[in-house]
Amino acid sequence: MSNKKAVGPDGIPVEAWKCLSDHGIILLTNFFNRMMETSKMPSAWGLSTIVPIYKGKGSKLECNNYRGVKLMCHTMKLYERVIDSRLRQECSLSKNHYGFVPGVSTTDPMFALNTIAEEYRAKNCPLYIAFLDMEKAFDRIPRDAIWWSLRRKSVPEK
């Protein structure tokens, strides 16, 4: 997590977590583990401040030309990273999965697509490609479907 980022509703900067002593890290780890066991987290973590950021194109009077940035508690972001790390250990992603993968660039899928297109062109075979705009896809997926998918992959409930 980068330094000098805007703080969330709790007012704790990310730098505070980066300078924890070994004892502080143990306490924070125990706190996170307890949240995992109880499936409960501080209610303050549900609070955030949304700041509209202009995308840089189109009319500034049009709401669709802005994206909202949520200022959340850095402690919650840290906890999310712990969960993300644990999930990545449990689930294996396809080698063709490029979104939200550390160390993978937007150029990687473009290179893969270009390689496939060249192979088809060399064989003089037709190639059909579909591009889908998955705008706000995660927001539209029923939570039951997400839990079902995780269970199918044998991801532990906690």
Pair 132, 99 in one domain: yes
Q: Which residues, 6+ apart, have CB-to-CB distance to 51 below 8 Å?
A: 6, 68, 69, 70, 71
Domain shared by 102 and 74, yes or no: no
In this prediction the pTM is 0.63
Instruction: Quick: pLDDT tens for 83-111.
Output: 888 888 887 777 887 877 888 888 888 99
Strand partners, 66: 54
Does residue 18 sit in the same domain as residue 57? yes
Mean pLDDT of 124-150: 84
Residue 94: Cβ-neighbour burial (10 angstroms; 0-12, 13-18, 19+): exposed
Q: Which of 69, 90, 111 is the last residue of a domain?
A: 90
- Domain count for the chain, please give it: 2
Q: Are 49 and 71 in contact (CB under 8 A)?
A: yes
Angle at 5 between CA 47 and CA 44, to 5 degrees: 15
Q: Which domain holds residue 15?
A: 1-90
- The reply to whether 58 and 5 lie within a common domain is yes
Helix (H, G, I), strand (E, B) or coil at 42: coil
Q: What is the mean pLDDT of residues 149-157?
A: 83
Provide the mean pLDDT of the chain: 87
pLDDT tens, position by position, 33-66? 999 899 898 888 888 888 999 999 999 999 999 9
Q: Assign 3 a pLDDT band (cuts: 50, 70, 90).
A: confident
What is each CA distance from 155 to 2, 38, 84, 158, in whole angstroms? 30, 17, 12, 8
Clarify whether residues 83 and 6 are in a common domain.
yes
CA angle at residue 140 from 128 to 89, to 5 degrees? Answer: 80
**Distance of CA 9 to CAs 19, 27, 38, 68, 124, Å?**
20, 22, 23, 16, 59
pLDDT band for position 79 (cuts 50, 70, 90): very high
Sorted by sequence, the CB contacts under 8 Å of residue 7 that are 6+ apart come out as 13, 71, 74
* Domain end position, chosen among 49, 71, 90: 90
| Radius of gyration (C-alpha) of the chain in whole angstroms | 21
For residue 79, give Cα distances in angstroms to 42, 94, 136: 12, 25, 23
